[in-house]
């Protein structure tokens, strides 16, 4: 009969385990717990990249945002640049403050100059941004 | 004087469990004490304005000055620089509720998840750069039993957190291959501002997280109630709040829904891209992605530009998809716990993870080759499912059935707490996913005037995603129940019944899906030697959507018991389901069965109502 008791407990736990309605330990939440670990002071985690810890606004180069975006979306950004369009290259253009009127030109430019922006499979986010800047400067947009 | 607009109060106890959220020591249960303490401290000036109550609790200030008609001049003047900077950065003027659909492979995300996106004017910022607000439990890496108990009993702190939308898309859509639904809501700028001020108050606070009721979806509704209290979105959630039901609360609210957008997962994108190509082109793409051929391949190079572009795009997406699948498998098997963190934070092909150099180089070459093809970005139009998750049937179900198990007639009543089975109308649900919890059934035998407890299914899950040439997930099933099985005539003892199996599923025609499983079973009853019986066997099923309101299925199962009893059990049957209305259906089931006695014919006709 002991086996029966053990299984009763297992069944109850199984039922309990599967009741949750939201993501709790999935990858996305893992990522968010990292962020929120710092949110004891509401402003810090959120603004860490663009300001000092005490929330005072500090002037930062606009490309910091572009680098951050490229860092966490390198793969998707690269795919978009290879085809000359898409959501990620559009967001990237916004972080680089590229004029709306020149966006299509920028997408085409990114495609034709793909291997100057992504020189190899190891090109990092900082290089991607500075290479993109160079390509933009040469083309004069 | 009531609490709720500011404190998310439920009766007289606040749902917030963090003592620092309250200015009065009795604040959690006494709105009066908290109100007095708050009012008093609004007039206290501190050397740093950012630490004053006014800057820490701006929503309380706004609400109190409005309802008590306090003159601005009566209060000290505050410079809440942190708050203002935060608001500037968010720059939100719209709200969208995001619903990534369920993923059965993870117990914690079976019902899906919801979070809120703080939108900005489209011309200013693309969606990917918007911030999102999520509410999640902080489980400190616990797993298994303690995870389940703590989650159920409120043992984990729940917190609101902010994250850019692009990291969420990456995590759900690319890594976990979950389609996402974006419900754009109609809130005014003033309403959004009051929501943000309240969010500012809540960010540092914690709640005790309860999986079932005070979960992510419920807390987001509560937050939205702050923006427009008269909608009272939380009013119908007492016991549980599944994400789909909370979305329904939003879409049911008059005039709240502006627009719905479907964002396909990476798996969906790969499948759609493949479907757009002829089979020989698909084969080239797969061979390129697996490194079996390279870009100098003759067959590949004789294709015209447009086809070559599409082949390369598919191949590149497939490399990324494969990488994500491998990571998920590793995680599922618990092989690489470190990957947990890598997965959420960094994409497989990030500069920081060179775990797979070969894949990295291959992907780079595919994309570089694609950039040389003089064809602009293809317009991959993916039309989402015809029905949204909020348009599906409701999760709870009650059934009344008449049945005939040779030689007895019976009437049965059963109830299901949640959520969906393979024969329920599939509109709004993921095809091939069954998720059922707590399903008790009672029978009445009129000829014997006998009332019996028949069974209770605690859990019954089938995950049967479809395989194709590119996407090849496994199907699995698991169930735990207490139910009666037929031995000799009239002897139907109750016993524990656990089953688990793994299999594969394919789409045979446009409307027919076939699955095959290898199964094991454990039964516990004192009818068996040592009270336990073990079996191994298999099951096949065919389910066809004949018309929009008619589902037909055929199934066969055989189990060989080798421990506890020597017996072959089998079941061969057919199910027909006819939809009557949005929330009702008639189901007819006929099967030839053999359990632990002689074979018998079982026929059932039932009326099922969803509510």
Q: Is the pLDDT of residue B352 over 60?
A: no
Q: Contact B537/B561 with Cβ under 8 angstroms?
A: no
Which chain B residues in 251-290 lie under 8 Å from chain A, judged by CB atoms?
none
Band of pLDDT at residue A43, cut at 50, 70 and 90: very low
C-alpha atoms less than 13 angstroms from C-alpha of B126 in its C-beta half-sphere: 18
Token pair recorded at residue B142: 């616990």
- CA pair distance B500, B518, nearest whole angstrom: 8
- Higher pLDDT pick, B482 / B124: B482
CB contacts of A94 in chain B (<8 Å) are 125-126, 129
Q: What angle do CA B205, B20, B52 make, to 5 degrees?
A: 100
User: Chain B interface, mutation test: which of A19, A21, A58, A93, most B Cβ atoms within 10 Å?
Assistant: A21
A49-78 average pLDDT score: 68
Which chain B residues in 121-160 lie under 8 Å from chain A, judged by CB atoms?
123, 125-129, 131, 134, 136-139, 141, 143-145, 147-149, 151-152, 156, 159-160
A26-51 average pLDDT score: 34
Find, among B153, B584, B239, B601, the residue nearest to B407 by Cα: B601
Q: Contact B117/B125 with Cβ under 8 angstroms?
A: no
pLDDT of residue A100: 86
Helix, strand or coil, per DSSP, at residue B186: coil
The verdict on A74 touching B (C-beta cutoff 8 Å) is yes
Q: How far are the Cα atoms of B106, B384, B386, B546 from residue B430, in angstroms, in the given order?
A: 15, 12, 12, 18
E strands within B72-138? 94-100, 115-119, 131-137
The verdict on B568 touching A (C-beta cutoff 8 Å) is no
**Residue ranges per structural domain of chain B:** 4-87, 91-263, 266-372, 393-610
Taken in order B181, B185, B191, B192, the sign of the CA dihedral is positive
B41-63 average pLDDT score: 78
- CA pair distance B301, B524, nearest whole angstrom: 63
Token pair recorded at residue B217: 């979806």
- CA pair distance A75, A123, nearest whole angstrom: 11
What b/e string do you get for B190-223 counting C-beta neighbours within 10 Å, with b at 16 or more? ebbbbbbbbbbbbbbbbbbbbbbebbbbbbbbbb
B531-569: pLDDT as tens digits: 999 999 999 999 998 988 899 999 999 999 999 999 999
Beta bridge partners of B10: B13
Q: Which of B225-229, B240-244, B302-306, B391-395 comes out lowest in average pLDDT?
A: B240-244
B25-31 average pLDDT score: 74
Which residue is closest to A18 within chain B, CA to CA?
Answer: B107
- The distance of B160 to chain A (nearest Cα, Å) reads 8
Angle between helices B305-332 and B357-372 (to 10 degrees): 160
First to last CA, chain B: 36
CB contacts of A115 in chain B (<8 Å) are 368, 371
Q: In this complex, which of B204, B215, B361 lies closest to A22 when CB atoms are compared?
A: B215
Q: Is the pLDDT of residue A68 over 50?
A: yes
Q: How far are the Cα atoms of A98, B51, B60, B328 from residue A42, in angstroms, in the given order?
A: 31, 12, 16, 32
State the virtual CA torsion across B234, B239, B244, B246 in degrees, nearest 10: 0
Question: B393-610: what fold?
Answer: Porin (2.40.160)
Cβ of B509: how many Cβ atoms within 10 Å? 8
**Residue ranges per structural domain of chain A:** 2-47, 63-139
CB contact under 8 A, A25 and B346: no
ipTM of the complex, rounded to two decimals? 0.81
């Amino acid at each position: 009969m002991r086996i029966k008791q053990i299984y009763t407990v297992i069944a109850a736990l199984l039922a309990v385990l599967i009741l949750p309605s939201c993501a709790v330990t999935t990858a996305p939440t893992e990522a968010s717990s990292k962020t929120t670990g710092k949110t004891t002071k509401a402003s810090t985690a959120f603004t860490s990249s663009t300001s000092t810890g005490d929330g005072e606004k500090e002037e930062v180069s606009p490309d910091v945002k572009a680098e951050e975006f490229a860092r966490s979306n390198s793969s998707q950004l690269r795919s978009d640049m290879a085809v000359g369009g898409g959501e990620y290259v559009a967001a990237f253009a916004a972080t680089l403050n590229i004029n709306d009127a020149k966006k299509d030109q920028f997408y085409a430019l990114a495609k034709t100059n793909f291997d100057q922006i992504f020189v190899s499979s190891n090109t990092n986010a900082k290089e991607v941004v500075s290479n993109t800047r160079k390509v933009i400067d040469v083309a004069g947009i | 004087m009531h609490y709720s607009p500011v404190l998310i109060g439920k009766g007289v106890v606040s749902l917030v469990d963090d003592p620092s959220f309250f200015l009065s020591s009795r604040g959690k249960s006494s709105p009066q004490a908290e109100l007095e303490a708050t009012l008093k401290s609004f007039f206290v000036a501190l050397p740093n304005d950012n630490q004053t109550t006014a800057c820490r609790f701006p929503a309380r200030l706004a609400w109190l000055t409005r309802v008590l008609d306090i003159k601005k001049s009566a209060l000290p003047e505050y410079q809440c620089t942190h708050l203002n900077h935060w608001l500037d950065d968010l720059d939100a003027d719209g709200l969208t509720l995001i619903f990534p659909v369920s993923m059965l492979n993870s117990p914690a995300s079976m019902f899906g998840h919801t979070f809120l996106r703080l939108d900005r004017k489209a011309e200013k910022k693309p969606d990917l750069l918007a911030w999102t607000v999520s509410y999640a439990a902080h489980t400190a890496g616990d797993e298994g039993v303690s995870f389940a108990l703590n989650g159920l009993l409120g043992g984990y702190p729940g917190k609101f957190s902010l994250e850019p939308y692009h990291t969420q898309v990456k995590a759900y859509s690319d890594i976990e291959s979950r389609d996402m639904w974006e419900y754009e809501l109609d809130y005014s700028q003033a309403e959004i501002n009051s929501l943000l001020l309240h969010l500012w108050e809540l960010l540092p606070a914690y709640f005790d997280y309860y999986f079932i009721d005070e979960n992510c979806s419920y807390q987001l509704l509560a937050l939205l109630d702050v923006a427009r209290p008269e909608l009272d979105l939380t009013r119908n959630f007492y016991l549980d709040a599944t994400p789909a039901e909370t979305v329904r609360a939003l879409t049911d609210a008059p005039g709240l829904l502006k627009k719905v957008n479907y964002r396909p997962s990476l798996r969906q994108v790969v499948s759609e891209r493949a479907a757009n190509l002829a089979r020989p082109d698909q084969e080239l793409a797969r061979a390129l992605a697996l490194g079996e051929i390279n870009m100098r391949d003759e067959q590949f190079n004789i294709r015209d530009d447009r086809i070559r572009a599409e082949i390369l795009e598919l191949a590149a997406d497939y490399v990324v998809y494969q990488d994500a699948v491998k990571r998920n498998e590793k995680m599922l098997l618990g092989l690489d716990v470190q990957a947990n963190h890598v997965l959420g934070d960094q994409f497989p092909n990030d500069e920081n993870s060179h775990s797979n150099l070969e894949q990295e180089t291959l992907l780079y070459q595919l994309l570089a080759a694609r950039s040389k093809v003089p064809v602009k970005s293809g317009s991959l139009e993916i039309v989402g499912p015809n029905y949204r998750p909020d348009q599906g049937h409701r999760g709870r179900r009650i059934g009344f059935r008449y049945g005939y198990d040779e030689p007895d007639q019976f009437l049965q009543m059963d109830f299901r707490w949640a959520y969906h089975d393979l024969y329920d109308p599939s509109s709004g649900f993921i095809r091939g996913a069954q998720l059922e919890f707590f399903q008790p059934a009672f029978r009445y035998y009129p000829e014997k005037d006998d009332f019996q407890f028949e069974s209770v299914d605690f859990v019954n899950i089938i995950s049967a995603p479809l395989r194709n040439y590119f996407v090849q997930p496994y199907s699995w099933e698991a169930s735990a129940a207490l139910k009666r099985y037929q031995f000799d005539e009239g002897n139907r003892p109750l016993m524990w019944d656990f089953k688990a199996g793994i299999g594969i599923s394919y789409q045979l025609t446009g409307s027919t899906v076939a699955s095959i499983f290898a199964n094991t079973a454990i039964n516990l009853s004192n009818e068996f030697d040592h009270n336990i019986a073990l079996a191994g066997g298999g099951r096949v099923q065919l389910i066809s959507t004949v018309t929009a309101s008619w589902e037909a299925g055929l199934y066969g199962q055989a189990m060989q018991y080798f421990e506890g009893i020597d017996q072959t059990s089998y079941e061969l049957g057919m199910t027909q389901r006819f939809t009557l209305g949005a929330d009702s259906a008639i189901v007819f089931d006929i099967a030839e069965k053999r359990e632990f006695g002689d074979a018998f014919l079982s026929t059932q006709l039932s009326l099922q109502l969803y509510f």
